[in-house]
Structure 1
Amino acid sequence: MSGSTRLLEVSGVSVTFDGFRAINNLSFAIGPAEMRAVIGPNGAGKTTFMDIVTGKTRPDTGRVIWGDENISLIGMSEARIARAGIGRKFQRPTVFEEQSVRDNLTMALKADRGPFNVLFWKPSAEERAKVEDIAATIGLAGQLDRTSGELSHGQKQWLEIGMLLAQDPQLLLVDEPAAGMTPAEREHTTDLLKSLAKHHAVVVVEHDMEFVRRLDCKVTVLHEGSVLAEGSIDHVTKNQEVIDVYLGR
């Protein structure tokens, strides 16, 4: 991937915890409007990879370069990395369940203000319109005034994706979005992620191979902290090493 089309580049990164090498000379790159699925067995380094990109874990060696200005993310705080345009969605949805969908999205617009200050802040007409646009994008336009705790599991996942979108990220890291969803919710989630990848970089960590296949994107297979294989879903699922360490289990 050439520098002009690279948004994030992880190069030669390694990290060891108590003698265990969780990430081993890992290299990874993604463009500004691209979807990538990351798969691999438990312990392959998928979560640690996301921890490194978002500043939660500092690698022992290697480079993590972001954006056109080639900014090094290593040593930057998690908050600064988020402000730079990297949003992360964890597997369990974390929304304010007592608040409405509208309030959740509005608070996300002003995440730097904190939940208490936002009580005394009135969104502008432009910000209200943005909340409604995001709600339409994620499929919750008809739920804006509903209490978030009443939403289904899948709807809460979409709301959290919307809360990330409210912060204008360039890259979204999404952890196992299909887990616990109904078939209809999974189909909507597939469509949502594919539409987001037209304007954002989207990295989806997932175990569900049928869901990955429906994303129809490049796949990176991690094993023991390194890239084992990379390519289309058909390419990686025919790779004998991938079959041996992951798919054959």
Structure 2
Amino acid sequence: MTTLLEVSGVSVSFDGFKAINNLSFQIGEAEMRAIIGPNGAGKTTFMDIVTGKTRPDEGHVIWGDRSVSLLKMSESQIARVGIGRKFQRPTVFEAQTVRENLAMALKNARGPFDVLFYRKSKSGADRIEALAEEIGLSNQLPRIAGTLSHGQKQWLEIGMLLAQEPRLLLIDEPAAGMTPEEREHTTQILVEAAKTRAVVVVEHDMEFVRRLNCKVTVLHEGAVLAEGSLDHVTQNQTVIDVYLGR
């Protein structure tokens, strides 16, 4: 499998506290990965570094088949090369319909003129229908986004990320606050997405992680503590001591 993202020897300190400590991590082109670990393990800082929000003190973050350094790029440039991030709280345009939210996110429709007249583009309309189908909101397209359930808003935001055609999706705690049915549907969306791109899911819900059925990276004190299947890492005594035993 071709490596899409490679993080090597990355460290970053905040006021003397090492949030990330000589971290190395890599993920392939079409791969699902779950990242788990206690609070303060460096999960959010890791995502901040990959998306350009935080600059590391040392190390390398290499992207794509041309092996370019993400550390030389701005946050907007990083988003444009194909890295999409979803925060824990859904951020959708509450006053707009589901259809309009997806239209605004489409990769080609950037100017206000494009957004205003997106219905006139057959390919844009088809893409919106396909995205709505992928996230399970086909029958909600005319609905105002603010009236959706918490789970549906999460799916819409994932759809808006997918509309930008990212090669890597970073998803923060998607299962939080969801019903069991919503969690099941979220699993399906992410597993499907990982067939064509890299998906990194930061999650605390072990049952949700098990359903993703993917390689798991355990972070602790800003470094990789263990890596492998969920069964493999959950049997690791150090992982039990620092995380699961709490």
| Common topology (TM > 0.5) | yes
**In the alignment, is residue 178 of structure 1 matched against residue 204 of structure 2?**
no
Could you say which residue in structure 2 is the equivalent of 1:222?
219
Q: Which of the numbers 93, 111, 128 marks the counterpart of 1:131?
A: 128
> Structure 2: any 5+ residue segments left out of the alignment?
none
- Looking at structure 1, the residues matched to 156 and 229 of structure 2 have their Cα atoms a distance apart, in angstroms, of 29
Could you say which residue in structure 2 is the equivalent of 1:51?
48
- Looking at structure 2, the residues matched to 20 and 199 of structure 1 have their Cα atoms a distance apart, in angstroms, of 37
**In the alignment, is residue 41 of structure 1 matched against residue 72 of structure 2?**
no
- 1:64 Cα deviation after fit: 0.3
**In the alignment, is residue 16 of structure 1 matched against residue 17 of structure 2?**
no
- Looking at structure 1, the residues matched to 44 and 150 of structure 2 have their Cα atoms a distance apart, in angstroms, of 22
Could you say which residue in structure 1 is the equivalent of 2:231?
234
Contact 1:58 1:75 in 2 (8 A): no
SS in 2 for 1:199: coil
Contact 2:118 2:124 in 1 (8 A): no
Identify the range of structure 1 (118-127 vs 75-84) with the bigger mean alpha-carbon deviation.
Answer: 118-127
Could you say which residue in structure 1 is the equivalent of 2:86?
89
SS in 2 for 1:74: helix
Could you say which residue in structure 2 is the equivalent of 1:61?
58
Question: For residues 41-85 of structure 1, what are the alpha-carbon distances to aligned partners after superposition, in whole Å with 9 as ceiling and x for unaligned?
Answer: 000000000000000000010000000000100031111100000
Could you say which residue in structure 1 is the equivalent of 2:185?
188
Letter in 2 for 1:42: N
Q: TM-score of the superposition, structure 1-length normalised? A: 0.95
- 1:5 Cα deviation after fit: 1.0
Question: For residues 86-122 of structure 1, what are the alpha-carbon distances to aligned partners after superposition, in whole Å with 9 as ceiling and x for unaligned?
Answer: 00000000000100000000000158736x5555443
Contact 1:110 1:118 in 2 (8 A): no
- Looking at structure 2, the residues matched to 75 and 171 of structure 1 have their Cα atoms a distance apart, in angstroms, of 18
Could you say which residue in structure 2 is the equivalent of 1:167?
164
- 1:191 Cα deviation after fit: 1.0
> Structure 1: any 5+ residue segments left out of the alignment?
none
Contact 2:86 2:171 in 1 (8 A): yes
- Looking at structure 2, the residues matched to 113 and 130 of structure 1 have their Cα atoms a distance apart, in angstroms, of 15
Letter in 2 for 1:74: L
- 1:226 Cα deviation after fit: 0.1
Letter in 2 for 1:48: T
- Looking at structure 1, the residues matched to 22 and 109 of structure 2 have their Cα atoms a distance apart, in angstroms, of 35
Could you say which residue in structure 2 is the equivalent of 1:122?
118
